[in-house]
Amino acid sequence: MRDEVIRFAFRTGRGSSAPLLAIDTEGHILAANASAAARIGLPSGRLPSDLRAIVDPLCTVAPEADRMVEWRDLRLLSQPVLHDGCPVGSVLRAVTPSSAGGRARTLPRAPAPVRWSFEKILSESGALEAALEVARVASRNALPVVLSGESGTGKELFAQAIHGASARASGPFVAVNCGSIPAPLLEAELFGYEAGAFTGGRKDGNPGKFEEASGGTLFLDEVGELSPQGQTALLRVLQEREIVRLGASAPRKVDVRIIAATNRDLRTEVAARRFRQDLYYRLDVLSLSIPPLRQRVEDIPLLAQAFLEQAEAEVGRSGLSLSDEAVAALQEFPWPGNVRQLQNVVLRAAAMAAGPEILASHLPVEVSRGVAEASRRPAPAPAPESPERQALAEHLERRSWNVARVAEESGVSRMTLYRRMQRLGLARPRS
């Protein structure tokens, strides 16, 4: 076992000038290069006690995964070596900060924090609630997930929410847009590369997205646009749970949960032989379809109000509100750009409105056209009179159709009241 640890250590370190050493599970030094001896100091043949206190726990917490630790002025990448599934030692690579004062690029970059949770996804739509229920199930396991939906429906929001509610929440969430990476650079981006692997690369090498996401979640957006070469490489990672950096010969274990997203029908792509069937079955363990905004019209007032509150801070205004006609126009529009387009429209209206109330005329022409055309159509027959309708109509009349005040007195949100008025066929009388 000791010999295997040494062979593994110096096979992975061939051609590298980085400080490198191999240890057994007792902290004994099995091998070290000159740089490691000079930087760390190993006179007793054992790791310094304060370094052992950091490295030892790595053998019991996810022993199959690489881990990064900080010790004194060094950052250390610990790569466990397994025998029959049990750790028998570790390989430590030490990298000092660069002369420019930044971190060496051999180690993973810190991921961006997750901003979205299930509680922040606003919805009163049955269609979206069904999707959220599947997402909550996905958060309770580590199975691969495929999120499908049109552009702008919020696939990354769902991915972040799944990650944030999972056992991996303390690990990194790393997002990659597969469609924005040129095919020749895809493997270097996903799997990283060693120093000198190709002209123009970083002189110290670079970790890939899989290494950055180890212990957490890797979000592959637009996975349907992966090149055939990228699909083959991804399949191997899913099967072996290890990657090989470009220019390296030894594999590195990675512990990553995959969430993929696409606006294409992957089954159609498989049938057309543009997407590998075996990769599709590896990825599509849990499927989740996010409905477009036009199929969840009841969510539009709720989302528009939330976006309006965000927009006030961006345009430096306060006290803005949406008129009934503006809400009606938003609900009439089919939203080809989905939630992202709605957010932009509300932001524009918040900037353009002359007064505190946003009118339909403050919306883009293509959005306001629907409500204008509806006003020219013959009015629908009024809903049958009912006690509920009569009581609400009288309440609105007493308050001069001040919807905000009636909603407050009724103990409901303004959006809920708008929906109730729509269901009962009540609309503000034209002066």
Report the sign of the C-alpha dihedral through residues 136, 139, 140, 146, in that order. Answer: positive
Residue 412 tokens, joined: 């409901």
Residue 79 tokens, joined: 């790569």
- Sheet architecture: strand order including 217-221: 173-177, 217-221, 257-262, 145-148, 286-289
Q: Is residue 378 scored above 50 in pLDDT?
A: yes
pLDDT digits (tens, 9 = 90+) for 286-296: 999 999 999 99
Is 368 in contact with 329 (CB distance < 8 Å)?
A: yes
Q: Is residue 75 scored above 60 in pLDDT?
A: yes
Report for 31-35, 193-197, 311-315, 345-349: range of highest mean pLDDT: 345-349
Does 344 or 373 have the greater pLDDT score? 344
Q: Given this model, what pLDDT does residue 66 score?
A: 64
Question: 64: pLDDT confidence band, cut at 50, 70 and 90?
Answer: low
Other CB atoms within 10 A of residue 53 CB: 12
Q: Is residue 304 scored above 90 in pLDDT?
A: yes
Q: What's the per-residue H, E or C state across the chain? A: CHHHHHHHHHHHCCCCCCCEEEEECCCEEEEECHHHHHHHCCCCCECCHHHHHHHHHHHCCCCCCCEEEEECCEEEEEEEEEECCEEEEEEEEEECCCCCCCCCCCCCCCCCCCCCCHHHCCCCCHHHHHHHHHHHHHHCCCCCEEEECCCCCCHHHHHHHHHHCCCCCCCCEEEEEHHHCCHHHHHHHHHEECCCCCCCCCCCCEECHHHHCCCCEEEEECHHHCCHHHHHHHHHHHHHCEECCECCCCCEECCCEEEEEECCCHHHHHHCCCCCHHHHHHHCCEEEECCCHHHCHHHHHHHHHHHHHHHHHHHCCCCCEECHHHHHHHHHCCCCCHHHHHHHHHHHHHHHCCCCEECHHHCCHHHHHHHHHHHHCCCCCCCCCCHHHHHHHHHHHHCCCCHHHHHHHHCCCHHHHHHHHHHHCCCCCCC
Q: Is residue 112 scored above 60 in pLDDT?
A: no
Q: Is residue 111 scored above 70 in pLDDT?
A: no
The contacts of residue 104 (CB under 8 Å, 6+ apart) are 75, 95, 96, 97, 98, 204
Residue 244 tokens, joined: 């090989």
Question: 185: pLDDT confidence band, cut at 50, 70 and 90?
Answer: confident
Q: In this predicted structure, which of 26-30, 105-109, 174-178 has the lowest mean pLDDT?
A: 105-109
Does 235 or 71 have the greater pLDDT score? 235
Mean per-residue pLDDT, 365-371: 78
Among 206, 211, 203, residue whose Cα is nearest residue 100 = 203
Report the sign of the C-alpha dihedral through residues 371, 376, 378, 382, in that order. Answer: positive
The pLDDT mean for the chain works out to 80
Mean per-residue pLDDT, 57-74: 60
Mean per-residue pLDDT, 66-79: 72
Question: 420: pLDDT confidence band, cut at 50, 70 and 90?
Answer: confident
Other CB atoms within 10 A of residue 404 CB: 11
Q: Is residue 156 scored above 90 in pLDDT?
A: yes
Does 21 or 286 have the greater pLDDT score? 286
pLDDT digits (tens, 9 = 90+) for 229-281: 889 889 989 888 888 888 877 888 889 999 999 999 999 999 999 999 999 99
Q: Given this model, what pLDDT does residue 386 score?
A: 73
d(CA 385, CA 387): 7
Is 415 in contact with 305 (CB distance < 8 Å)?
A: yes
Domains in the chain, ordered, with CATH?
2-95 (3.30.450.20), 118-289 (3.40.50.300), 295-377 (1.10.8.60), 384-431 (1.10.10)
Does 386 or 323 have the greater pLDDT score? 323
pLDDT digits (tens, 9 = 90+) for 326-348: 999 999 999 999 999 999 999 99
pLDDT digits (tens, 9 = 90+) for 84-109: 667 777 777 765 443 233 333 344 44
Q: Is residue 188 scored above 90 in pLDDT?
A: no
Does 392 or 115 have the greater pLDDT score? 392
User: Do the strands 217-221 and 74-83 form a parallel or antiparallel pair, or are they unpaired?
Assistant: unpaired
Q: Given this model, what pLDDT does residue 189 score?
A: 85
Q: Given this model, what pLDDT does residue 344 score?
A: 95
